[in-house]
Amino acid sequence: MTFEKISKLLNEESVKRNTSLELNAEHPDPLMIASAYPNEFSALVCALFAYGNAKAIVRFLQSLDFSLLDATEKEISTYLQHHYYRFQNAEDVAALFITLRRIKEQNISLETLFLPSYRKDGNVMDGLRSLIKELYEINPYRSRGYQFLLGTIPPARPQSPYKRWHMYLRWMVRKDNLDLGLWKEVHTKDLLMPLDTHTFTLGKKLGLIQRKSYDFQAVLELSRALKKIDPSDPIKYDFALYRLGQEKILP
């Protein structure tokens, strides 16, 4: 398929998929839950638990009470004592809520923690480095499950795709019928692809990714390829690529 045909396909699919009707019981997505509680803290909970089977993700998120982000730490621990998801036990789940509650309690937004480092070079990884570092510093709790949830503080040369974090940024920065657009000072042109197995496989099939490894370099490769189609908003094609790969529409 030529680049012109790929561009035409992705532009058509991005328009077609830009509807809340894409988020339903037959096609579950954590954005369903994030959209029901449209604030940056609830959305981050939804994004960080967005790994594994989509139906299981949504089922778990539906079991959570997001008003706990304003509850006492004791109330959080008590309410969540029987909640667990894959690699996270009840203490891990409660720790995330407690961490975010402590930031909310200081009247600090997550965007405020992200912006200073991001603004220096327009690099979202710099912003994520500051944000993730602050999440670790505000709560000394550590476990394998909790650290998997937050991810590592991005090094100078990341290896991980940081898929869940880039998905969160897409939700926060882009504004359309799917994404929430709650952050106002990050530019869509700087966003990077929330690369998952579906978009990675399809990206290679379409020739948008040459790299064989599912890693951060593949994220950059696909993001740059999409920027050739729309320099100002390359990640608007993420949802379309995801659905095309998930539904196995292309041979």
71, 101 in Cβ contact below 8 A? Answer: yes
| Distance set, CA 185 to CA 33, 79, 121 (Å) | 24, 35, 14
Helices and strands, number each (H, E), in the chain: 13, 0
Task: Give the chain's mean pLDDT.
Answer: 95
pLDDT band at 163 (very low <50, low <70, confident <90, very high): very high
Q: What is the SS3 assignment for 247?
A: coil
Per cent of the chain over pLDDT 70 is 99
The pair of structure tokens assigned to 169 is: 């940024």
104, 41 in Cβ contact below 8 A? Answer: yes
The pair of structure tokens assigned to 195 is: 């690369």
What average pLDDT score do residues 146-169 get?
97
What average pLDDT score do residues 83-88 get?
96
CA-CA distance, 35 to 69, in Å (whole number)?
Answer: 16
| Residue 187 exposure: Cα atoms within 13 Å on the Cβ side | 9
What average pLDDT score do residues 99-127 get?
97
pLDDT band at 1 (very low <50, low <70, confident <90, very high): confident
CA-CA distance, 139 to 44, in Å (whole number)?
Answer: 16
For residue range 7-47, what is the model confidence (pLDDT) as tens digits? 999 999 999 999 988 888 888 999 999 999 999 999 999 99
Q: Length of the chain in residues, anyone?
A: 251
